[in-house]
Structure 1
Amino acid sequence: MAMPEPIPAPEARPDVERLRGYSAPLEGRRGLLRLDFNENTIGPSPAVTEALRSYPADQVAVYPEYDGLREALIANLQASPAGLAHPLTIDQVGLFNGVDAAIHAVIHAYGSAGDTLLTTSPTFGYYAPCAGMQGMAIEALPHDLPGFRFPLEAMRTALQRRPKILMLCNPNNPTGTRVPAEQVLELAAAAPGTLLVVDELYEAFTGDSVLPKVDFNVHANLLVLRSLAKTAGLAGLRMGFAIGAAGVVDRVSRVTGPYDVNSLAVTAAFAALGDQDYTDHYVAEVARARDYLVSQLTQSGAVFHCDGGNYLLVWPRRSAEAVEQQLRSAGILVRGMAGKPQIDGALRVSIGTLEQMQRFWTTYAQLES
């Protein structure tokens, strides 16, 4: 009997066929000191752990409910030291399966073929493939050197070309570049036809958030992304928020599924938002550990850059790839920046606890000696 002719798979959209997907080396990390993805390195609050342990088994079979979660986030923001000059309403908060899903939804909702997405370079690597899915052009402005300063004048000029979306990671990953809230508001006011998306994933480690000052009734073209991944330790559960004008949040939410955020993530988010003291303690510990590592790097004469965020860049004297592999052999993961503009040859080192950074430094210093 003759074998049937194989039926070829159909091609995807041309934009997807041309796309270079975003991937990260996430496998084989258990049991190692994870200083490679800027995660919380000690785990979530005991309140989160207890909430997950006590989650009713029968509720796993039920679609998630989100009642009260937006209110809990707003209350958490209002109670922060900076507070909110302009109160938020629940229709100004969108819930997403992590900030990555929010980024994808924003670009899916607002980007079309031929539009331009404006950003800086280097920056978070997921912006480009999301724009590519929509057939958008990407204009990436290099940071000003030395110091990886925000290219403010170049950004002002680029905004005159009316890009559809400006993606601004603040503080920027991986350079730590910070943009004061006043400059963010200035850029939004100067570009009424552009959606300015501020990715504040690492804001808690820096304190440059625009949320305490923005009035979304005035700056309706400004959208802020937040997460509970890096500070509260919920990276594995995926919990992200988009905060902005009600109309923008509505349109971004239209391109997501109705149950994208799972019930365990919701349960953990309630517990994490209710235990801000734990998160504050962790953020303070990271700051102490960062100061320690900066001091050690300075005394050793190492070439490094540290600004905002829970990470820094260091340029080893030897091959960065070789040092990265030797650190892994010692049970420590860091992220190589090979091929990235301006930072090729650097390692990005996430900041954990003081004890963890002492372990990193002892090993790294031996490799560099």
Structure 2
Amino acid sequence: MNDNIQPFTPGGAPAARADVEQLKAYSAPLEGRRNMLRLDFNENTIGPSPLVAQALRGFSTEEIAVYPEYDGLREAVVRNLMEGGCRERLNPDQVGLFNGADAAIHAVFQAYGDAGDCVLTTAPTFGYYTPCARTQGMTIEAIPYEGETFAFPLAAIQEALTRLSPRLLLICNPNNPTGTRLAPEQIIAMAASAPDTLLVVDELYAAFTGDSVLPLVDFAETPNLLVLQSLSKTAGLAALRIGFAVGHAAVIDRVGRVTGPYDVNSVAVAAAFAALADQSYVDAYVAEVLRARDWTVEALQQAGVRHHCDGGNYLLIWPRKPVAEVDAALRGEGILIRSMAGKPLIDGCFRVSIGTTSQMQRFMEAYLRLDP
């Protein structure tokens, strides 16, 4: 039980469900990040397209006073995906809108997870999957990544699919925090081999690898595959919380049934339209991040610093000093990183997001000075 939870006593606050009483909520240190070099949460580090700022400046008081309207937004998402190479001719009813990808993940568990059901995933991976599963009373089977390169445990996952027949299989691709990548063809084949399992592929970082399943998948043939994306990591809309689920219309319908009618606010809708209309801005930002990632890896190699980099706009570094000491020292320099303390396989390292080349030069100068 979470040590911070006080047991229910007569006359005190009512106890929550047993699964919630025993839950340790997913937490992220969000305070005190303004005016810092934000290399801790894998956000866009330069901000969104100027079209987004223009749309928000033009937001009227009337629009604030009425409930959100979503006319045309699903169609805009479909156009963006089709222009990005999506194989299937998607329909708007195959796109779900959510208050960030986190809300989509939560809705998937609410719609498809029941007490005693099994969720299969990997370890380490995005920490929000666990509280969502435990809130529903689900059991969790987390297969560890393999070796020093954190290879995807494909054989072990396939064996567990057969043995456990899990209700849900969650694959973060590329994985946060290890960057591990799995080929889209393998994901689609895995879904086809387990038709009673909903395979959710979390693609929030796929733009940095080109590993999306959408250019290959046919949801009529693989209706148990659901793809999650967002506009936080690439388009710079993290504060506004706008995410998408793409899949078979029947799955989108079921997941949508457990969400509120106005969960996505009007400001996020306006920003999403503007961001989707300026894909060239996103593409240029992604290209700069990839250049900066290459520069950072080369600098780490030259300095003899142990690190791991595969996919995504982040990499792992094992400092010589204790992680907490390095974290505090960098914060003192105005630079934020994310400690991986306590995570399986990677305890003792930290994750650093990749920004622009100039931002990474600032990070490397400070890091090599503070952890020589």
TM-score (norm 1): 0.97
Q: 1:228 aligns with which of 231, 245, 250?
A: 231
Describe how 1:299-314 pairs up with structure 2 within 5 A: 299-314=302-317
Work out whether 1:204 is the aligned partner of 2:207.
yes
Regions of 4+ moved over 3 Å: none
Unpaired segments ≥5 residues, structure 2: 1-9
Find the aligned partners of 1:84 and 1:10 in 2 and give their Cα distance: 49
State the partner residue of 1:51. Answer: 55
Find the aligned partners of 1:155 and 1:50 in 2 and give their Cα distance: 46
Q: CA deviation at 1:368?
A: 2.1
Find the aligned partners of 1:91 and 1:19 in 2 and give their Cα distance: 34
CA-to-aligned-CA distance 1:69-100 (integer Å, 9 cap, x gap): 011011011112xx122110011000000000
Unpaired segments ≥5 residues, structure 1: 1-5
Q: CA deviation at 1:347?
A: 0.7
Amino acid at match of 2:245: A
CA-to-aligned-CA distance 1:88-140 (integer Å, 9 cap, x gap): 00110000000000000000100000001100000000000000000000000
Percent of pairs identical after alignment? 65
State the partner residue of 1:175. Answer: 178
State the partner residue of 1:60. Answer: 64
TM-score (norm 2): 0.97
SS at match of 1:107: helix
Describe how 1:117-128 pairs up with structure 2 within 5 A: 117-128=119-130
Q: 1:14 aligns with which of 18, 23, 33?
A: 18
State the partner residue of 2:105. Answer: 103
State the partner residue of 1:166. Answer: 169
Work out whether 1:251 is the aligned partner of 2:251.
no
Find the aligned partners of 1:246 and 1:291 in 2 and give their Cα distance: 39
Find the aligned partners of 2:93 and 2:220 in 1 and give their Cα distance: 12
State the partner residue of 1:284. Answer: 287
Find the aligned partners of 2:59 and 2:167 in 1 and give their Cα distance: 43
Aligned residues: 363
Work out whether 1:343 is the aligned partner of 2:346.
yes
Describe how 1:127-142 pairs up with structure 2 within 5 A: 127-142=129-144
State the partner residue of 1:357. Answer: 360
Larger deviation, residues 263-272 vs 315-324: 315-324
CA-to-aligned-CA distance 1:15-73 (integer Å, 9 cap, x gap): 10111101100000001100000000000000000000001111101000001001101
Find the aligned partners of 2:371 and 2:341 in 1 and give their Cα distance: 19
Describe how 1:268-283 pairs up with structure 2 within 5 A: 268-283=271-286
Find the aligned partners of 1:113 and 1:364 in 2 and give their Cα distance: 46
SS at match of 1:317: coil
Find the aligned partners of 1:79 and 1:233 in 2 and give their Cα distance: 20
SS at match of 2:367: helix
SS at match of 2:238: coil
Amino acid at match of 1:93: V
Work out whether 1:94 is the aligned partner of 2:103.
no
Amino acid at match of 2:296: L
Q: Cα RMSD between the aligned structures?
A: 1.0
Q: CA deviation at 1:10?
A: 1.1
Amino acid at match of 2:49: S
State the partner residue of 1:78. Answer: 82
Q: CA deviation at 1:146?
A: 2.1
Find the aligned partners of 2:79 and 2:127 in 1 and give their Cα distance: 32
SS at match of 2:121: strand
Find the aligned partners of 2:11 and 2:143 in 1 and give their Cα distance: 45
Q: CA deviation at 1:190?
A: 1.0
Amino acid at match of 2:129: Y
State the partner residue of 1:260. Answer: 263
Q: CA deviation at 1:8?
A: 2.1
SS at match of 1:149: coil
Find the aligned partners of 1:44 and 1:360 in 2 and give their Cα distance: 22
Q: 1:28 aligns with which of 7, 32, 54?
A: 32
Find the aligned partners of 2:63 and 2:303 in 1 and give their Cα distance: 55
SS at match of 1:241: strand
Q: 1:39 aligns with which of 34, 38, 43?
A: 43
Q: 1:295 aligns with which of 274, 295, 298?
A: 298
SS at match of 1:236: helix
Find the aligned partners of 1:84 and 1:24 in 2 and give their Cα distance: 33
SS at match of 2:256: helix
